[in-house]
Amino acid sequence: MPHLPEPRGELSSAVTDLLGAAPGPVPAIDVAAPADPLGDDDLHLALYVLYELHYRGFDGVDERWEWDPGLLGLRARLEAVFEDGLRAALSGWTPPPADATTMDLALRAIDDADDAPSLSRFLETKGTLEHYREFLVHRSAYQLKEADPHSWAIPRLSGPPKAELLEVQFDEYGGGDPARVHAQLFADAMVALELDATYGAHLDRLPGVTLATVNLMSLFGLHRRWRGAIVGHLALFEMTSSIPNGRYARGLRRLGRRSKAATAFFDEHVTADAIHENVAAVDLAGGLVRREPALVGDVLLGARALAELEGRWARHLLGAWEAGHSSLRASEAEAVAA
Amino acid sequence: MSSEGARITPYRDGPLLVRGPFTLVDQDGAEIEVQQRTIALCRCGRSRRKPFCDGTHKVAGWKADSAAAPPPA
Ligand code: FES
Ligand SMILES: [Fe+2]
Ligand SMILES: [Fe+2]
């Protein structure tokens, strides 16, 4: 099990201090909105740690904390800051028109309107092995628990959309073969690039802008009221996967990393997500809106929020690399070059 | 999924999804290995992973309806 991370400010200190002891009263903690609620290091580490109690937990942390009312109250206040930040960032956005039969077109319009720089083009043509390693370290925050945040939606859906979600998730979890679980393929790629693939090993090095991309999924997944948004998030995630993953795989081969372990994760996603994107956009997202028309706005918001946070994340990586430094937080251990 | 046979769906501007049970064979009868229960077959002609779709139809801006085209007038 991973260790609790080093705190980065008042919120994450408060959270890690609490979790270091047995469940007890949670003091009133002042939660003020940071300058950047979509990327703040302290806010997003605190939220990430609180969400992680619902996934794999931490070494030495009492598992009863997961449902401690005081701690959930603190989490709700952090979530409110994050949610307000999201709404503010999307306030100028006009959702495309959509209904159950045009959901695929509306989601595509959101993707087409996305003007974020292309990380996959950069890695394919110019990426170094060190860039690839950083990329994998960032992505490990999600990819080592790939599909889990969207699985929270399963008990919130019924009928055809539930079956369609499971159709996608079945593949994500390897179709019954543990060696083909996508999180395992990702771990294999990390090891092939000489990285530590232990769950949570790199948490101290991940900036808030990266943690926010995972917190977004946990926020949408863990709240039933956001079931439309987690479905929209998944649909756009699948729709923006085949092409970039093909590029990542070609870049790795260009760098001479041709082993199956290095490339299988990316190769698998080229063809798997060419299937998933249709199932997720048409049958899952469209199917959900057919049953619950009132959710159409949330589905689109989930997709747009994904594009927004992924864009900020990609800009962070490319900006750091263009300036010639690491996109990860500094650490004494320099855990990346294992 | 129907229990009687495969169900094939052309998706708008995208591939043909085939939901099992099915067998995929080449013209010499050799079986083409399939990883998923459902597969996407390229119908735009531009995939680098034929017969499977690899998403290239999007880059190409390829267009086709899901429903059958009307017969010529
Ligand atoms: S239909 Fe997708 S690549 Fe041809
Ligand atoms: Fe996957
Ligand atoms: Fe997928």
Tell me, yes or no, whether A67 and A162 share the same domain.
no
Overall residue count recorded for chain A in this entry: 338
Domain end, chosen from A59, A89, A119, is at A89
- A97 part of a folded domain: no
Distance CA A284, CA A133 (A): 34
Tell me, yes or no, whether A108 and A167 share the same domain.
yes
Please give, rounded to a whole number of angstroms, the shortest distance from the CA of A268 to a CA of chain B. Answer: 9
How is residue A131 written in tokens? 């860039």
- The ipTM estimated for the assembled molecules is 0.94
- A95 part of a folded domain: no
How is residue A34 written in tokens? 């940071």
Check if B46 has its Cβ closer than 6 Å to any atom of ligand 1: yes
How do strand B7-10 and strand B16-19 relate by DSSP bridges?
antiparallel
Check if B13 has its Cβ closer than 6 Å to any atom of ligand 1: no
Touching check for A175 and chain B: CB below 8 Å?
yes
Q: What are the Cα distances from residue A173, in Å, to A165, A167, A184, A227?
A: 12, 10, 9, 21
Best of B7, B8, B12 to disrupt the A interface (most A CBs within 10 Å) is B12
Tell me, yes or no, whether A294 and A264 share the same domain.
yes
| Ligand 2 centre distance from Cα of residue A146 (Å) | 7
Domain end, chosen from A55, A89, A123, is at A89
Tell me, yes or no, whether A143 and A108 share the same domain.
yes
What pLDDT is recorded for position B1?
A: 47
Beta bridge partners of B25: B31
Pure H helices in A55-128 = 69-89, 103-112, 119-125
Query: For residue B7, which phi and psi values (nearest 5 degrees)?
Result: -115, 125
- A300 part of a folded domain: yes
| Ligand 3 centre distance from Cα of residue A282 (Å) | 14
Q: Are B11 and A282 an interchain contact pair (Cβ–Cβ within 8 Å)?
A: yes
Tell me, yes or no, whether A247 and A304 share the same domain.
yes
Tell me, yes or no, whether A237 and A202 share the same domain.
yes
Q: Which of A70, A53, A71 is nearest to A61 (CA)?
A: A53
* pLDDT tens-digit map of B14-30: 999 999 899 999 999 99
Q: What is the pLDDT along chain A (338 residues), one digit of tens a residue?
A: 899 999 999 999 999 999 999 999 999 999 999 999 999 999 999 999 999 999 999 999 999 999 999 999 999 999 999 999 999 999 999 999 999 999 999 999 999 999 999 999 999 999 999 999 999 999 999 999 999 999 999 999 999 999 999 999 999 999 999 999 999 999 999 999 999 999 999 999 999 999 999 999 999 999 999 999 999 999 999 999 999 999 999 999 999 999 999 999 999 999 999 999 999 999 999 999 999 999 999 999 999 999 999 999 999 999 999 999 999 999 755 544 44
Packed helices A182-192 and A129-143: angle between N→C axes, nearest 10 degrees = 150
Check if B14 has its Cβ closer than 6 Å to any atom of ligand 1: yes
Distance CA A235, CA A158 (A): 17
Tell me, yes or no, whether A179 and A59 share the same domain.
no
Q: Are A271 and B52 an interchain contact pair (Cβ–Cβ within 8 Å)?
A: yes
Query: In CATH, what number is assigned to the domain containing residue A330?
Result: 1.20.910.10
* pLDDT tens-digit map of A185-200: 999 999 999 999 999 9
Tell me, yes or no, whether A249 and A272 share the same domain.
yes
Distance CA B41, CA A56 (A): 37
Tell me, yes or no, whether A52 and A129 share the same domain.
no
| Ligand 1 centre distance from Cα of residue A229 (Å) | 27
Domain end, chosen from A89, A117, A145, is at A89
Dihedral sign for Cα atoms in the order A103, A162, A223, A142: negative
Structural domains of chain B sorted by starting position, each given as residue range(s) with its CATH number in brackets: 1-62 (3.40.5)
- The residues of B whose Cβ lies within 8 A of any Cβ of A are 11-12, 14-15, 17, 35-40, 48-49, 52-56, 58-59
How is residue A81 written in tokens? 């800051």
Tally of domains in chain A: 2
What pLDDT is recorded for position A338?
A: 45
* pLDDT tens-digit map of B43-60: 999 999 999 999 999 999
How do strand B7-10 and strand B38-41 relate by DSSP bridges?
unpaired
Three-state DSSP at B25 gives strand
- A98 part of a folded domain: no
Three-state DSSP at A318 gives helix
- For A274, the closest of B12, B37, B55 (CB atoms) is B55
Tell me, yes or no, whether A85 and A184 share the same domain.
no
Tell me, yes or no, whether A276 and A186 share the same domain.
yes
Tell me, yes or no, whether A123 and A68 share the same domain.
no
- A2 part of a folded domain: no
- A249 part of a folded domain: yes
Domain containing residue A52: 10-89
- A306 part of a folded domain: yes
- A96 part of a folded domain: no
